[in-house]
Structure 1
């Protein structure tokens, strides 16, 4: 594979902020974040699976969020770390296409899942008497299938379309993973129509779910304001605050990257926003949901206590 040749079969990932002073320290820190994020999401998913008291719609959806997050961070960080520590920058076209596919599938799935989680909170607070009937196990399974299937279908179309463009001249991707906007900048074909299609897809997978979340929380807050019990209001808001924090962390960078003109932000800004989306959000999600959730903390103490008893005996 030759750099700058039209006959090349792969690309060159320039990595995380190339030329940055003390880059090795940053990459090592990101690798540690990856280990903690992967472990945290895996532990949270296993806790929900193992503790029957957490087999409720809210926690079932939360377990799907953990699975998506640990897969999402594993799509980008390991390859970035391997390239940095090995001194290599190349990535095959097939591997690059795989990164695009999994990133879009998981990212789109998370957008849908966060919207469905807001619906779960809406039903729980605004129609508590109908909650168990509305959010039954069959509905939860359907929600999970919609998130995984919808994200995968959308990603398959985007990946095929992105990778079919001809790439001429430089094959250097100014990113630490194969992100669709960074790849399109290398194409020597006309991508204007596809960029319009991508904008429409982003409206479907970003703006519409976000609008659904906002509408759900407007109705939730109106219901909370009508509650007579201060304890009821506090409990209702507490169950929503964690989800709102995750939504802000995830949707904020996504809106800037995909819903604003590429000329409005630099490659370095895109990398910084992508780090929030793909690295730090998966780290913070299990912390937000576990440290602020009594049920999860109780399940964790139960497991740790049981393990300590076994070790003692």
Structure 2
């Protein structure tokens, strides 16, 4: 069969693309088998759409949520559209300025034009009256602009996400590189103080969630994670069953952990923790136990897990984010 030069070029290009895409697809399938599906899912309260601070364990940026019940338009969520509008243009273009902004802009424009053309609000008067009119006009502009700025700032001052909590300094985090079973406790403390027992609970949940996932134990997952996260796990397990697959995750060991941030919203506490852990991740054919993906060789993963608890209850998993 004879091919033209252009046709042979297309065939070569397709072969190159397939040779690159096929191993990538296989590696993605293997990486996506563990609990959470290798995606970013769940909710972090009012910080769902804000990336947790980077840590020593996860120096990159956590990926945004692929699946979440939290809507960006909810109060306190800091919708991106609102932030973009606030940064658009100068002072008089800011949203919410309304009539005061228009008046201030109008007076300022009129004053500048008046000065350029030798007049002002009292341009019809001469001598001393003209000077007094110019001074009055400048004073009026200053008063209106200051009133407008004060009004706008009061209207757009953000309320605290929770009552009675101390302000968190930008980038505040606790370094946890050594010590308690993979976690370490640094000197600086976040607004919500995390105790050694909390770190033990985080490490325990890391293993128990993986075990319940491997056993396809939805009832157990309900005791370890929020209803939102359990809904994602249930959907992923159903998809595994539809493919006649079962994912087995064993030998989970926490290697390093860092607390990215901890905070309180009303009656709910949150803690986002970067964790690097090793695990044996295998996908088997249901019924025959034939290896479909993965291996007996331990692999490592780094994820940011967010835990939440209401006052008087235990911590539970509320989000998993992949790191970039």
TM-score in terms of structure 2 length: 0.21
TM-score in terms of structure 1 length: 0.22
* Higher Rg: 2
